[in-house]
Structure 1
Amino acid sequence: MTERVRVAVVGGGPAGLTAAAALAPAVDGDVLVLEREPETGGIPRHSDHPGFGLRDLRTFVSGPEYARRLTRAARTAGARLETEAMVTGWAGERTLEVTSPRGRRLVAADAVVLATGARERPRPARLIAGDRPDGVHTTGQLQNLVHLGRRDLGRRAVVVGAAAVSWSAVLTLRAAGCRTVLMTTEYARPEAYTAFRLPGRLAFGVLVRTRTRVVRVNGGDRVTSVDIENLGTGARHRVACDTVVTTGDWIPDHELARTGGLDMDEATLGPRVDTSLATSVPGVFAAGNLLHPVDTADVAALDGRHVATAVLHHLSAATPLGATPLPAAALVGGVPLVAEPPLRWVVPQLLRPGGPPPSRGRLLLWSDAFRPFPRVAATQD
């Protein structure tokens, strides 16, 4: 069976829900959000602490409340939200293969928005040696256990990473009665904004060790300790703990983008986009942390709001699905953007003549080096 919709949004997190809320009132036809989890809302759904909604909703609420507000806004706008629906592949031009408890079907759309987000690399992908005891989690696993599964944790935790999400893990551990005794980062400075870092250290007394890494996890049935290495001296010491949380080190959930034949960026590992967030495939757009792993939920939501304008422009110019597409010349061209060290990547990766400004009116760049007063130089070949 093939279902036809005007717009299919893959991913019901902040970017996908915000895009759907903007598109549904303006589109003549269905806007369908396909979400693989039992509920929409994405990662904020199980981040049960305040700090969400500042940039997009001009508010300051908990993650679950933020997820509820975005879900309510999309549904009220007229979008159709389908949960437990996994998009497993493509069956042709802007046609998705969908599997759910209700069966398998095809969904054909005039425009597709990929908002599949990003995930943290687990311990095996980080090549941390040692035993395989219980008590090692990613931030997402931790938050699911505490806020959704209501499972008790240990009493002493080591957090790997010092980004904003790492402090989210500290808050979750604290809610479960588990104290963070150490936070490690391989960088010379913690990756989190000062607004996260200083209050966290002062309020929770977390010791942050820079230029260090966890090289081994020890334990039988349960974690008993980790071995920490100083990257400058090579010296190692053992820290007693019963819980380890690996945070950050994100990778986009890019499998659907890859199998769809989209041009991929080697640095971000997500699809290449122009300033409108259009990909290399006509009628397929991308938004949120699929593009730039990883930024805050409200920044991803603003991507969703931004991409809606490009989708509407595409729908007004494009012919219906299966008819003659736009001329190829309208889909090519532009000036590529390339990041050079110490910058790791830049998003978007393409400027088109006459194109719109990028999301939030700025380019997003990631630096591997700390600069207190950065100055970015742009050159054109």
Structure 2
Amino acid sequence: MKILLKNARRLSSVYELEPCEILIEGNRIKQIKSAIRENADRNIDCNGNVVLPGFIDVHIHLREPGGEHKETIKTGTLAAAKGGFTTVCAMPNTNPVPDRKETLEKLVEKIKKEAKVRVLPYAAITKDLKGEELTNIDELVMAGAFAFTDDGVGIQTADFMLKAMKQAAASGKAIVAHCEDNSIVYGGVVHDGDVSNRLNLPGLPALSESVQIARDVLLAEAAGCHYHVCHVSSKESVRVIRDAKRAGIHVTAEVTPHHLLLNENNIKDQDSNYKMNPPLRAMEDQEALLEGLLDGTIDFIATDHAPHAEEEKSQGFLNAPFGIVGLETAFSLLYTYLVKTEKIKLHQLVDWLTKKPAEVFQLPYGKLDENTIADITIVNLEKELKINKETFQSKGKNTPFQDWIVSGIPVMTIVDGEIVFEGDMNG
């Protein structure tokens, strides 16, 4: 199968948009030129829209098995395709947990049958994510584990984390950490600051995140392990990661679109669509996250797409589960409120969604070059729309960005040379 993308634009080597055409043959990009005169099975007029490498999200929740009322592999990957994501990495907080060879192998088979984009599954660090017994990391690597995490809960003892890091290092895999010291969480549901006082809700201190990162970077240094920090949310965490990188420790980090675009001041009432963990923190934390992204302390962006059923999210801040959806809105929000406002450049945003996560986790994706895998996202930078959760492919409608006006809309997604999402090139 040959696909020819005509009348497109791409980012040049000097980060300007230039005309191009792309010939895809099988699952590879065969040619990228200003004009291609070759017969194809399908010619697609891109109408001047921008071709980008397919987006990569190393932190999403697909909920299946066990949470199919929230999301499934099929609906979650349809959402990814609509958002321009071609590779996603699924967290292991499912039921059953992928904490042994047989369970992970069954999940991998289910992914092959149901997924609309490429899904790389995590395996758990500890059995049942309970922090009481380590999994067999070597066995899980053989079964197809992308990396190891107990995302959703922090590893509470240094002993367990050090042992896991040593095993992961020996297997050439990363330890990916949700950092939270349970002894200083205090039942918090929002940031411990202005919002917790204003709404009279229990506050979750930023220190619960940063102290565990500080512990873990020293353990990672001792173990010789690649240690990756999930959803960084506070200025103290950024400082710790920056110092660790300067010391030569192999630590990497991600930040979410919602922590870049929102802070505690956006929470006006007890709308639990604003409830996530880590919580939206102070404005100074939000500013530190963007600064950390710009100076390389934080390596890239990941959505932490966390769908929940509407009846679960309608229970108010105290009782609703943590988490918001993000796959279908990430690029548009970031383009509209960071690139168009000139806080960042388009090429930086693209790198943080493609090249950087691929480099950190040594993935052969995130490129738009001849002879590379044909993972391509086409975006209409001019088109504007209002975010409407009722149009989401995801089962989860839990977003704080309802009715936000955005531009930079993905209109086609190609994975491994196959079109998996097709919108309106002209609209």
Structure 1 length normalisation: TM-score?
A: 0.24
Structure number with the higher helix fraction is 2
Structure number with the higher strand fraction is 1
Structure 2 length normalisation: TM-score?
A: 0.22
